[in-house]
Amino acid sequence: MSTTKLYQNQVYTKEFTANVTSVNISEDSTTVTLDQTAFFPEGGGQSCDLGVIGKWKVADVREVGEDVYHTIETTDSSDMPSVGAQLPCSIDWERRFDNMQRHCGEHILSGVFFDLYGGVNRGFHMGTDYMTIDISLEEQPEIEEITYEMALEAEAAANKVIWSDSPVTVLRFDSRKDAEKMPLRKALAFDEDISIVCVGSAENAADCVACCGTHPSTAGQVGLLKTYKVEKYKGMFRIYFEAGQRALKDYGLKHDILTDLSNDYSSSIDDFPSKLKLQEEKLAAVKNDLFQMKKALTKIECDKLDGIIAASDSKVLVHSLEHFSMDDAFNMGKNYMGKCKQLIMLFSEKDCSYILLSDGTVDCGSLVKEYASFYHGKGGGNKISARAIFDREENATLFSDLVQKHLR
Ligand SMILES: [Zn+2]
């Protein structure tokens, strides 16, 4: 016995009573069929309904042949619905209405892209995080691309359709011949039992296409549609958009982020871009000042180190740098890399790390590899330069002492 599909003709049914017609138990799932169901099975890019059948939660719904199989969250054979039982059922209406708004938004936007640019919807993704349509211009070679501005024009036209509150009707046809009398946006893929969804009248349809999904009865219930990104995708154009309560939530989220950022900059939202630009300019000036000061400081430190090197006959020379990061110390060390006769160990107090430099007579990389790990140090390098990073200064000093002892 096939399942009567309430979601086809009574799309607003949230609660219903049904008789269990079969219970199918496997090792990891239990599926139930009913004489009638409002649970929409996954299809046409729209995800399935969730909800409850009796006391059992519904985890998945699929259509196989003429039947709809509901996967329920139990595999305990002593806790199953029985065949013939009459059970109260309800679907998660918030999820369903969200799906209906988004899915109908997709119809309207696809219809508009077709109408404005001759773009054909060749792919649809309605995921948890985002929704996209892939528009192909293959039938409209005089238009080379869909720009973001064109997508915004489509968005404006789609919202006009939504606010016109046109009826959304589902018409069922037994044959392809009859269905093809409708002003279809896409060629039919089936020969019989065809559902055609039409936004607006057949004479002046905003969209008209074969579809098995669930839709609100009027376009106005979609509420709002927002496109926010266009990217090239496999020779087509992928349009990112949101519709319905999701578009409102997205507006709220972005408004909150922008309000927080504007407050941080003591600015109104309108003035925020110019305030941010001003801050960027100030930051660039500070970065430039810092670069010049580091350059001058490096020169002073190099002069100081040159004097120490000249006066020293030790095999190892340890020099501490108070205000230098490890990278700064490394850049300063480039002046000595491969040239210095003794091993130079530059210590960055800021990053608790050593930069080792030599002319290659002493292998800096091997010293770090051999000794740094004794004192929880990490790092590495080559013959003429290496770095060793420590968790605390005490360990860095122990490493330095060991290297000096080794080379003495
Ligand atoms: Zn549809």
Could you report the per-residue pLDDT of 49-108, keeping only the tens digit for each? Answer: 999 999 999 999 999 999 999 999 987 888 899 999 999 999 999 999 999 999 999 999
Q: What CATH number did the domain enclosing 293 receive?
A: 3.10.310.30
Domain span at 322: 289-407
Distance CA 20, CA 368 (A): 73
348 and 316 share one domain: yes
* Distance from C-alpha of 233 to C-alpha of 134, rounded to nearest angstrom: 8
Q: What is the pLDDT of residues 169-219, one digit of tens each?
A: 999 999 999 999 999 988 898 888 899 999 999 888 999 999 999 999 999
What's the pLDDT at 307? Answer: 94
pLDDT value of residue 190: 83
Residue at which a domain ends, from 67, 91, 115: 91
Residue 8's pLDDT is 92
Q: What is the structure's pLDDT at 141?
A: 86
Residue 275 belongs to some domain of the structure? no
Q: Is residue 143 part of a domain?
A: yes
CA atoms within 13 A on the CB side of 292: 6
Is 266 inside any structural domain? no
What is the CA(90)–ligand 1 centre distance, in A?
A: 22
Distance from Cα 73 to the centre of ligand 1, integer Å: 29
333 and 200 share one domain = no
Asked if residues 278 and 259 have their Cβ atoms less than 8 Å apart, the reply is no
Q: How far is the CA of 162 from the centre of ligand 1 (A)?
A: 15
32/157 same-domain check: no
**Distance from residue 36's CA to the centre of ligand 1 (Å):** 21
Give the domain-ending residue among 239, 260, 281: 260
Mean pLDDT of 243-269: 96
What residues does 321 pair with on adjacent strands? 348
At residue 27 the predicted structure's pLDDT band, cuts being 50, 70 and 90, is confident
Task: Please tell me the predicted confidence (pLDDT) of residue 72.
Answer: 96
For residue 207, the model assigns a pLDDT of: 93
Residue 207 Cα to ligand 1 midpoint, Å, equals: 10
* pTM score above 0.85: no
**How far apart are the CA of 104 and the centre of ligand 1, in A?**
6
Q: Are 36 and 111 found together in one domain?
A: no
Q: Decide if pLDDT at 261 tops 80.
A: yes
Mean pLDDT on 365-378: 95
Rounded to the nearest angstrom, the distance between the alpha carbon of 215 and the centre of ligand 1 is: 6
Q: Quick count: other Cβ atoms within 10 Å of Cβ 390?
A: 23
Average pLDDT, the chain: 95
CA of residue 199 to ligand 1 center, whole Å = 10
Do residues 171 and 50 both lie within one domain? no
Q: What is the pLDDT of residue 288?
A: 97
- For residues 294 and 256, membership in a common domain is answered with no
Span from the CA of 66 to the centroid of ligand 1 (angstroms): 20
Residue 336 has pLDDT above 80, yes or no: yes
Please report, to the nearest 10 degrees, the dihedral formed by the alpha carbons of residues 261, 267, 270, 271 taken in order: -110
Q: Output the domain CATH number for residue 37.
A: 2.40.30.130
**Domain-located, residue 277:** no
Instruction: Look up residue 110 and give its two tokens.
Output: 């696809």
Question: How far away, in angstroms, is 175 Cα from ligand 1 center?
Answer: 19
Choose among 405, 407, 361, 403: nearest CA to 379: 403
Domain shared by 87 and 111, yes or no: no
Query: How far is the centre of ligand 1, averaged over its atoms, from the C-alpha of 298 (Å)?
Result: 67
Pair (354, 391) in one structural domain: yes
Q: Look at residue 270 and tell me if it is in a domain.
A: no
211, part of any domain: yes
Question: Residue 106 Cα, ligand 1 centroid: separation in angstroms?
Answer: 8
Q: Region 344-358: what's the mean pLDDT?
A: 96
Let me know whether 252 and 374 are in one domain: no
Residues 132 and 124: beta-carbon distance below 8 Å: yes
**Cα 300 to averaged position of ligand 1 atoms, centre (Å):** 73
Task: Confirm whether 281 is domain-assigned.
Answer: no
Residue partners of 151: CB distance under 8 A and separation at least 6: 227, 230, 239
What's the domain count of the chain? 3
If asked whether residues 29 and 82 sit together in one domain, one would say yes
Ligand 1 center–CA 310 separation, angstroms: 83
* pLDDT of 327 above 90: yes
Residue 206 Cα to ligand 1 midpoint, Å, equals: 13
Taking Cα atoms as reference points, which of 306, 295, 399, 314 lies closest to residue 355?
399
Q: How much distance in Å is there from the Cα of 214 to the middle of ligand 1?
A: 6
Does 67 share its domain with 113? Answer: no
Ligand 1 geometric centre to CA of 91 (Å): 19
Per the model's pLDDT, the better-predicted residue between 185 and 167 turns out to be 167
For residue 46, give the DSSP letter. Answer: B
Residue 202 shares a structural domain with residue 301: no
**Cα 219 to averaged position of ligand 1 atoms, centre (Å):** 12
